[in-house]
Structure 1
């Protein structure tokens, strides 16, 4: 009867220890509060390069370019890009690390089953011989370190902030990948148009060479000699062929880059007929203060700063004593059939306190290191915010100037087309000279090429503007977990 009572005492202690730990840890660690206020002071009330407008950037801003194939290709890249898979796995690991930090604060319960059989030989005794003995045991072990001062909670809070930072960084990476795909697509589209233009340039050069050759054969020598003019025309034809080959090579490289972004094999067979889309209307820029809550890179930097503040608290609390409580309850017997018999019950309870007295300055140094990490994280956050403001201002200003340049280039291009056509007609009629014809055609081709480059530049800047304003694809750590499960 006494043994059963003693066995019950041990079991009751273990159950009580478990219950205390569960109740103690039942209060879940809350999400760390935002510390964005450290960079919100001094934020301007509006953008210097744009008029005030309502906030609200499209999450699916790629669709604003009006190209379904581009939108589909961006979706493919987001699903198959290897860097995105790597980043997603990092976020998942951060989430599991946060769960591990929380699990370590809870009581740990384990079941221990064991058995032993041994033989002992008696040598030198009067009767000699040997003896075989057996022992079996089963017990439950409980261990718990109560977080009296909150050091564990600070560590778990930091782990949660790390996880959140990873989620925001993944969002930023996905938005950046979408921007890279768009720009690579525009590079292929511009390259296709440049190839068409280079072929047209070659055709014009060959046509001009034929006209010069006809005049030379009719012995109609202009000033400077028709032979020199013919050689000049032949040089232009050879240069046009070389330019066409170079442009085709650039398009092939752009296609391979686009395929790599989408996780495909770089065979240079993608989007053979891609065209530059129209430039969509400018997105609403909103207010600078709203940018702090939209840009995922700013949110990630703020979470990194929160991590350092929680780590400082964790390091400071290392000066306080730590407590550990243990208990076990079970049986031990020499017969396996009696392993669940309470008459053979055993139990133990224990508690310990560890107070750091001499640490060689380790804890103080750790606090100083983490304060340095906090200052670094704050500087990184301030830099990220300032850079974000600069990117928005630059994109808004560039958008305005590119529109003005576009109007000027369109006018110059149309005039160059008319001039080239008039020069060709005059030369055929014998009223013009070959130098004027060469100059008109060269100017026309150059302006056509520059206008294509300007269109691509405007599209790239519009992508940069969407990205700078925080446009992107919504991705949270929770959605990543569900997708992978």
Structure 2
């Protein structure tokens, strides 16, 4: 066995020993504890009806049974630019994880060259060389492992952020869609109302010509008609703006998108709220915040590893000769192998500052995680209250609407019988129209509140693994391939 072979064998044993003996400095991660309560306050004391499956489906919007909404949801996942931006950021995080995982492996290099030199009056000489090198940093203190741990957590956070962005865009689309459909219903109502007001104006003019109505009655009917026309124009403007917003959500120019008016109205589905603790698995923004805490925890170890020496093992060898013919012969070969130990002795407190910075970032991310959980709980409670309250309001509004319709029927009969003037009719018709529009608006509000509740519950999203271990979206083996 040659000297070079013996040195390379010793080099391999040193590598294996160091890999087995290495330890990772810094704290091991523990998920921060948050008190989420045993149940939602809004459902305390009563049990809402639940589907057989207690969890929301991933395609939660299909609970509304609206084909047009289903198609828009497919389009938004393909063409929405906000989702495309966050998806690119997710791929960027994956690439960063692969780069940090590559630090586990030695770096191989090769070089070849020829140089021509001259000194004083001597003849010029040429030097041919061909060599290779191997350099490997022993991860004695876990700096590389903590770096990979932090980058893996960032990838998982980025994956959850992508899911949160998709859910947010889908929720916004559904809310915009249902508001447009409410405007469609209001426009049909106003079209019918305008037609009735036009008939009333013509009838009042005929009665004025016959001498049984006053000019005040004609003016009142005219004002009523113009007000209804103005409201109709306002609805057109508001619907057009929402249609433009919908176009941008699906990645199209407003001029290239149109949502035809349709007679679509759906029932409000039952939404299984589950338990507060389930939000830790259901909410992607909560999962993203928790993964950022894990990344910050690993960064503490990276900062602390700077206090320990770095050990680099390297080897190189090759051929060097002044004549081309002798270039690759054994007498002109060279090699070297050996470790290098490097440590910073004084840096003016820079390492301490970086450790303090990492700990402060960890504390900030813990607070952000807890705040995200509390905000998620608040949103669920708010929308549970909204759905329950809007349901009761809708029942009350239904009774008010029935009374307004009956009052309008009686008032019109009295006017046609000549018992009252048209100003009294105008007042009752205005009240009835307001009741009709309020009923439509409450129905839309309940649909929108149900969409908001589904989004607040995470829209059927689930973490891939239990939260007490980690959210795994990429394995360590895949990270270092």
| TM-score, structure 1 as length reference | 0.87
Residue 95 in 1 paired to residue 94 in 2?
Answer: yes
Q: Secondary structure at the match of 2:254?
A: coil
Correspondence list, 1:318-357, <5 A? 318-357=306-345
Contact 1:55/1:290 (8 A) holds in 2 = no
Cα deviation for residue 426 of structure 1 reads: 3.1
The answer to whether 1:67 aligns with 2:59 is: no
SS at match of 1:369: helix
Q: Secondary structure at the match of 1:348?
A: strand
Residue segments in structure 2 that go unaligned for 5+ positions in a row: 465-472
Deviations 1:428-473 (A, max 9, x none): 3323321221122111211111111111111110011111112145
Segments of 5+ residues of structure 1 without an aligned counterpart are: 124-129
Spell out, residue by residue over 1:302-323, the C-alpha distance to the aligned partner (whole angstroms, 9 max, x if none). 1111111111122122111111
TM-score, length-normalised on structure 2? 0.88
Partner of 1:39: 33
- 1:289 paired to 2:253: no
Counterparts of 1:11 and 1:34, CA distance in 2: 38
Distance of 2:324 and 2:4 partners within structure 1: 18
Q: Distance in 2 between matches of 1:478 and 1:7?
A: 40
Q: Structure 1 stretch 279-288 or stretch 55-64: which is displaced more?
A: 279-288
Q: Deviations over 1:391-415 (max 9, x none)?
A: 1111111111111111111222233
- Whether contact under 8 Å (1:395, 1:462) holds in the other structure is yes
Question: What is the CA–CA distance in structure 2 between the aligned matches of 1:21 and 1:208, rounded to whole Å?
Answer: 96
Judged with a 3 Å threshold, the aligned counterparts in structure 2 of structure 1 residues 33 and 354 are, in CA distance, closer, same or farther, namely closer
- Cα deviation, 1:363-399, whole Å, max 9, x if unaligned, reads 1111111111111111111111111111111111111
- The yes-or-no answer on 1:171 pairing with 2:163 is yes
CA contact 1:7–1:346 (8 Å) conserved in 2? no
- Distance in 2 (CA, whole Å) between partners of 1:235 and 1:460 is 34
Q: Secondary structure at the match of 1:145?
A: strand
Q: Distance in 2 between matches of 1:473 and 1:177?
A: 14
Tell me which of 201, 206, 210 is aligned to 1:214: 206
Distance 2:410 2:113 in 1: 102
Structure 1 residue 287 displacement after superposition: 1.1
Is this contact kept in 2: 1:255–1:268, CA < 8 A?
no
Rate the CA distance shift 1:337–1:423 in 2: closer, same or farther, 3 A.
Answer: farther
Mapped contact 1:190–1:275 kept (Cα < 8 A): no
**Per-residue Cα deviation, 1:202-224 (whole angstroms, up to 9, x for no partner):** 22222221122111111124xxx
Pairing 1:380–2:368 present = yes
Distance 1:478 1:119, change over 3 A: closer
Partner residue, 2:470: none
Deviations 1:261-300 (A, max 9, x none): 0001112742212445323332211111121121111111
Q: Which residue of 2 aligns with 1:253?
A: 241
1:458 aligns with 2:446: yes
Distance in 1, matches of 2:159 and 2:367, equals: 21
CA RMSD of aligned residues (A): 2.8
